Amino acid sequence: MRRLLKDVTGTRVMSRASAQKMGKVERVLLDVPPRRVVALQVGRDQLVDWRDVSGVGTDAVVVESEERVRQATDAREERAMAGDFDWKGKRVLSDHGNELGTVTEVELDEATGAIEAVLTTEGRVAAERLRALGSYCLVVRHEPGSELPG
């Protein structure tokens, strides 16, 4: 089932092992490649790897147990937790250097964490076109006929 990034952000996080609330999803960490969710930021300074998520529902994200929560392990994760790689509002550039609007939303497969598509102010971009995400922009593969000359 497809779910929008905004539908996951702010959702409570529950432990399957103890049925206790662990916090809420502050941020969804996505990466390109591999075009998928890599982790969820729970609270201000903790992460849960996507592989430890057992379910994503409308009311909660369920994680195997509290023991699966961890700290950032490198500078990129720390930057992601600080918002440097947030998608919403990020400019979209083709690998030919043309601007294709800004990101308004991301469609996810809730079962696998795969990115299905990126919605922009100029339209929908299929996940297969995603090349790289940085602090400045999202780079997508040029698609002939999809860009204005210029």
Same fold, 2-81 and 91-140: yes
- Per-domain boundaries in the chain: 2-81, 91-140
The CATH architecture of the domain made up of 2-81 is Roll (2.30)
Structure tokens at 134: 């940085």
Q: What is the pLDDT of residue 145?
A: 66
State the Cα–Cα distance between residues 150 and 132, nearest whole angstrom: 23
Least confident stretch, 28-32, 61-65, 145-149: 145-149
Structure tokens at 87: 């998608």
Domain 91-140: CATH class, spelled out: mainly beta
Q: Length of the chain, please?
A: 150
| pTM for the whole structure | 0.86
| Nearest-5° Cα angle at 101, 26 to 83 | 20
Output the CA–CA distances (angstroms, integers) from residue 3 to 9, 12, 28, 113, 117, in the order listed. Answer: 11, 16, 12, 10, 11
pLDDT tens-digit profile of 65-115?
999 999 999 999 999 999 988 999 999 999 999 999 999 999 999 889 999
